Structure 1
């Protein structure tokens, strides 16, 4: 059975080899002429980038400032999706509450927690998620800025 599956997958992938290129191509699929920094030979292509910036490595290895907000957004989407597919009401509640628990606690700490009591999940998310994304983006920007020494 495994052999049949493997053969079927290889047969499905065969047409993809027609799209393979012998060198660099642009967005329109047209060949790009070779340069001193961009060469190709027998289906292998390589590019060399030279920079005079001494701090290039730190910049290259520093994640973009949007990383914390993207991680939060992906985690939130995953938990909400899990809540939609969970048949257990308690599990649904926990999965929906996890992404906004800290924000809800912060509202409670400043005495504004009652603003969201009895409101639907969509309202809680609309009120709490955008400011969280902005704060996480700002935190990422500050981390990147301090990592780059600016």
Structure 2
């Protein structure tokens, strides 16, 4: 099922100096897919079309309509993307945030699923969210078991030393 991530767009007014907050400034409790540690926060989202998601994120001047999903059929693929705020800059003003992804299949088997830089560069100006550079894509063929999968992103801000793990659940169907 695809749904528009209006909730995420509402978070664009987030203050980078605190935990996740709603547009009225009220703190939003952490969930398994959205966590924070001090001023550093990460959210994982799944999409069936990474290119379209990134294009909507990067080109929209108004709140973008971001297509996300939590289900995929055998024969299709999904991508896991990270949205974050509050990375700590080093002495040169550059953030260094990295991720390692893990895929847990319907049988509970965990498989390393790649990783890389979420963000290496100047931090976004305060009160804005940033779409991470790294992503993980996974396709499912007829030999894969149907059922409930989990994608975990272990994210580390190498400058501040803060680490967060976020999880997105995925239903694989026939």
TM bracket (short chain): under 0.3
TM norm structure 1: 0.24
TM norm structure 2: 0.21
Bigger Rg, which one: 1
